[in-house]
Amino acid sequence: MRILVVLAHPLEDSFAASVAETVRGTLAANGHAVDLLDLYREGFDPRLTPSERSRYFEPSYDPSDAEPFVSRLKQADGLVLVFPQWWFNFPAILKGFFDRVFAPGIAFENDPDGGRIQPRLGNIRLFWAFTTTGSPWWVVHLYMGNPVRRLLKRGIAAFCAKGLDFRLVNLYDMDRIGDRKRKAHLLRVERLAGRI
């Protein structure tokens, strides 16, 4: 399987970078072709341009402004996202990745009559995300309603592909846990990625 691993964290020595490397190494060791896309290191510009937005509902949307990121998504069989949750949401660079790369004609097709959009990412069979959050489990789930999971599963995954293997793996209380729990989480990530 060809898997696109997308890392969204500004610090090269972040825990998210360690998670991404664990995923990459495990997948490669199991024979998968892995394309690691580090949005910060590769200089991805998350800003949707005026030109992109003005063409968004045209029948033949031109995604060339976001190349080569679009072609990397189109070549993948699976997508694994690695990012921290900030303010119970995606980092801005990852939101921009969705805005610019998960565009019409690539991830979905606009209904010209204004109805439901049609999924276009038939190549993606696996959609996983490994995240961290500074909040405890109960705040994310009970107080906030797990917004990142809802956005990924009910929004992006459901509207862009069908029959996906979807999974979201969170590490909670990131700001309060120590090295022992971080190491245990990396072992969990390795074990889960080994099942792909």
Cβ-contact 36, 20 below 8 angstroms:
yes
Collapsed DSSP state (helix, strand, coil) of residue 38: strand
Domain containing 126 equals 2-193
Largest CA distance in the chain: 54
Of 161, 189, 173, nearest to 5 (Cα)?
Answer: 189
pLDDT exceeds 80 at position 126: yes
The CATH number of residue 103's host domain is 3.40.50.360
pLDDT for 31-58, tens place per residue? 999 999 999 999 999 999 898 888 888 8
pLDDT for 160-188, tens place per residue? 898 999 999 999 999 899 999 999 999 99
Q: Where are the alpha helices (DSSP H) in the chain?
A: 15-29, 50-54, 69-75, 92-101, 137-138, 147-149, 158-160, 179-193
Mean pLDDT of the chain: 92
pTM attached to this predicted model: 0.94
**What's the total number of domains in the chain?**
1
